[in-house]
Amino acid sequence: MRYSQNHKAQTHQRIIKEASVRFRRDGIGATGLQPLMKALNLTHGGFYAHFKSKDELVEKALQAASAELDAHCAALFSQERPLEAFIDSYLSEWHHTSPDQGCPLPTMSSELGQRGQQSPTTDTVLDARLKQIETALGSPSADEQSLVIMSTLVGALVLARSVENPQLATRILDVVRESLKTGVNTATADIKKAGQ
């Protein structure tokens, strides 16, 4: 039975979407192609009609996660207090417990880096967030501050997800969130004073 090009394109996107969820939730190494395809009611052999290798799928899935994140962050950075909204969202209970729907930096990108398989999509994801943070900061040292903020957010989320004690996880998120927001508010107040 032959399928239309449209059907093949839709199936291709379904595989990428499911892989993006599973790679962020379960890990790239732990996600086998056979269970992935079975979850979509597709055959394992059919995978190769869409992708040359698992590595190609990983990159496409990372790009899909990046596009989801771009849309989410566009909404956050359009708010009145964009950095606070971004920090609150990044270190939220939802993001802590929903790695399958969240930022790929602490999940997929971290695993790829650990394996020595750096991805240009990771650079794209990070650059996009850094630019948004820099714009929101609007200070002369915004490029350095944005790196510190983003690194702190990713690190705090990784730690909160990896500790066994739920109270400690919540404490990590709460303390880091409030510390970053205090720093941002102080920096903003300093910029306003300097401009007067």
- Tell me the per-residue pLDDT of 104-135, one tens digit each, with 9 for 90 and over: 999 999 999 999 999 999 999 999 999 999 99
Q: Per-residue pLDDT tens for 131-175?
A: 999 999 998 889 999 999 999 999 999 999 999 999 999 999 999
Share of the chain above pLDDT 70, in %: 93
Position 190 pLDDT exceeds 80:
no
Cα 185 to its chain centre, rounded Å, is: 24
Q: With the CA atoms of 45, 47, 51 and 57 taken in that order, what torsion angle do they form, in degrees rounded to the nearest 10?
A: -130
Report residue 30 as tokens: 């732990």
DSSP 35-69: HHHHHTT--TGGGGGT-S-HHHHHHHHHHHHHHHH
Dmax over CA atoms of the chain, in Å, equals: 72
